[in-house]
Structure 1
Amino acid sequence: MNALLNIIWLLFGGIWLALGYFAAGILCCVLIVTIPFGIASFRIGVYALWPFGQTVISRGGALGAFSTIGNVIWLLVAGIWIAIGHVLTAIPMFVSIIGIPLGIANLKLIPVSLAPLGKVIVPSSSYLPMVR
């Protein structure tokens, strides 16, 4: 089922979304100082290309001061605008029954697009939250 949803996602906007993230990643890598943002943009681009069957988790030791400062800068410069774009493109997806999972996937991209540093994308099957 994930493969079918990913193919539909890819055809109805996932490719353009991923290309946008990849273009932003290239631009960030060209501007040497923003290479961490470029790497994060590539990571989000891969996730935007094939979102079903994957999940975002926080990397345990990566939430240091530099990561926090970088996430605040990212949020102010790009994160808010990207999140607004995801919400605005998710709304028309919810109009049809077939588009509902696509809209949910689009909304699922918002947390990682707001604060991408210190996050890692893993297959959903390999991420089992610990039960206490």
Structure 2
Amino acid sequence: MNFIGNIIWLLFGGIIAAIVWFLAGLILCVTIIGIPFGLQCFKIAIFVLWPFGREIELGNFGAGGLIFNIIWLIVFGWELAITHLVIGAVFCITIIGIPFGLQHFKFAQLGLLPFGARIH
């Protein structure tokens, strides 16, 4: 079931979302200060490409991760989380869209605190 969900995900926008996250990572990596944030965008792009059957474990970050998560949350995170929450809510309106909405809720979690998050 996860394989079929991932294929449908790719066909109906997953590949575009992954490309957008990848391009955001490239833009952030232009400056030295933005490299850690760009690397997180690459991690999210890989997760967005194939999300079904994978889970997020938040936490496990040290003092540096805490500082980067705070900066991320202020600059990027809250907008990304709200966007994914709204898209997830729209998908959850229909029964067929619920699995895709749940994936967007996972992206919202990762969009808030990407540093120290593990994707299994």
How far apart are residue 16 of structure 1 and its match?
2.0
Tell me whether 1:87 sits opposite 2:85 in the alignment. yes
Q: Which residue of 2 aligns with 1:125?
A: none
Equivalent residue, structure 2, for 1:53: 53
Cα deviation, residue 50, structure 1: 0.7
Instruction: Please give the residue correspondences for 1:61-76 in structure 2 after superposition, counting only pairs within 5 Å.
Output: 63-76=61-74
Q: Give how far 1:59 is off.
A: 6.5
Task: Provide the C-alpha distance between the structure 2 equivalents of 1:88 and 1:47, rounded to a whole number of angstroms.
Answer: 19
Name which of structure 1's ranges 110-119 and 10-19 shifts more when overlaid on structure 2. 10-19
The reply to whether residue 6 of structure 1 matches residue 6 of structure 2 is yes
Aligned-partner Cα distance in 1 for 2:89–2:59: 30
Which shifted more, 87-96 or 69-78? Answer: 87-96
Task: State the distance in 2 between where 1:49 and 1:117 align.
Answer: 19
Q: What does 1:1-132 correspond to in 2, within 5 Å?
A: 1-58=1-58, 60=60, 63-122=61-120
AA at the equivalent of 1:65: A
Deviations 1:37-80 (A, max 9, x none): 111110011111111111122464xx221110100000010000
Unpaired runs of 5+ residues, structure 1, are: 123-132
More strand by share: 1
- Could you list the runs of 5+ residues in structure 2 that have no partner in the other structure? none
**Which has the larger displacement, 68-77 or 28-37?**
28-37
**Structure 1 length as normaliser, TM-score?**
0.84
In structure 2, what is the Cα distance between the partners aligned to 1:102 and 1:22?
Answer: 20
Bigger Rg, which one: 1
Measure how far apart 1:3 and its partner are. Answer: 0.5
For residues 102 and 21 of structure 2, the distance between their equivalents in structure 1, rounded to whole angstroms, comes to: 19
Q: What is the CA–CA distance in structure 2 between the aligned matches of 1:28 and 1:17, rounded to whole Å?
A: 17
Question: What TM-score, normalized by structure 2, do the two folds share?
Answer: 0.92
Distance in 1 (CA, whole Å) between partners of 2:59 and 2:72 is 18
Match for 2:51: what amino acid? P
